[in-house]
Amino acid sequence: MAYAYDDQNIFAKILRGEIPNDTVFESDHALAFRDISPAAPTHVLVIPKGPYVSMDHFTQEASEAEIVGFMRAIGEVCRLEGVSEDGFRAISNAGRNGVQEVPHLHVHIIGGRPLGRMLAKAE
């Protein structure tokens, strides 16, 4: 599958410094910032700095350094936000059925309170 990256998406604009953000962590390969509409006391978005649409796009085309750097950034955000001990949710939506709102890979780190079930049980 060919992935078409839209360089006018909001996260691309954040990466270029066109839109401000509340940065939590930054490395060579990732940027993490607070969600502007948090779903829990901790709600941080972690994005790769490269032009990747979704997790499958990223894992197929990113370099090993990008993959390692991105995954380590997720771990560092969890440590910095103090959610590792009590638990958190890491969510990455992809495509229409996954309800992806921004076409740039992003992982939501959500925690700081009991989160309930992720999805209703299938019937």
Among residues 29, 57, 104, 106, which one is catalytic? Answer: 106
Which DSSP symbol is given to 54?
S
Query: Measured between alpha carbons, how far is residue 106 from residues 78, 85, 122, 123 in Å?
Result: 15, 23, 26, 30
H or E element in which residue 7 lies: none
Annotation marks residue 106 as catalytic: yes
CB-based contacts of 2, cutoff 8 Å, min separation 6: none
Question: Are residues 35 and 107 in contact, defined by beta-carbon separation less than 8 angstroms?
Answer: no
Among all residues, which ones are annotated catalytic?
Answer: 106
